[in-house]
Structure 1
């Protein structure tokens, strides 16, 4: 799989901006803008193609609704959950988000990977993920 074939679906511009600050690979990020419906779903489906899809919504009522839409209509997607204490993807600390995405196979800014509060040993220290992305 080409790394650019990964798609992250988030709720809004703040979430997208936060992910762009952490990611170093060319994953596409699609915003739902907090609403879902059949027309919005069709619009998103048109952009997906054969991509590997990741859902990263906020830990609130709207985020759960959006997640349910994708569980029902796009069951092959992977759901990434944030800690409810942050509430929104856009409010997650960079190091937390970097480690979360790293555990799901994304290339992230290695300066953000730090041992401590949000770090978990995942067995990826073999260099597959913790290295500079070369595109």
Structure 2
């Protein structure tokens, strides 16, 4: 099954993309989105494994709630609140989160 990872911004995408060792689509919502916009973004990926990895802040929580309502089949993964943003989370931690989400990772980068 194809995987889609939903992140908030381009810095989040740039942070996790090099860690991933399989073909995965990374979608940026570019901040908080409406239900309509979220549907436009995710509808083409319906039936795929939708993984949500957003910041541990207000806008991230808002987006998470919206995804839960519109796409209840999506799987949610969390970074520790102490890191606040996906973009500032240590690579080692992000690697663990990706592994937990059943995403193949590049082992060499995980050690850096």
Q: TM-score scaled to structure 2, two decimals?
A: 0.92
Q: Which protein, 1 or 2, shows the higher relative CO under an 8 Å CA cutoff with sep ≥ 6?
A: 2
Which structure 1 residue ranges, 4+ long, deviate > 6 Å from structure 2? none
Query: Which runs of 5 or more structure 1 residues have no equivalent in the other structure?
Result: 115-135
- The structure with the larger Rg is 1
Query: Would you say 1:103 and 2:100 are equivalent positions?
Result: yes
Query: Which runs of 5 or more structure 2 residues have no equivalent in the other structure?
Result: none
Query: Would you say 1:52 and 2:49 are equivalent positions?
Result: yes
1:112: how far off?
3.9
Work out the number of aligned pairs and report it. Answer: 111
Structure (1/2) with the larger strand percentage: 2
Residues of 1 paired with 2:24 and 2:83: CA distance?
23
Structure (1/2) with the larger helix percentage: 2
1:100: how far off?
1.3
RMSD after superposition: 1.3
Q: TM-score scaled to structure 1, two decimals?
A: 0.77
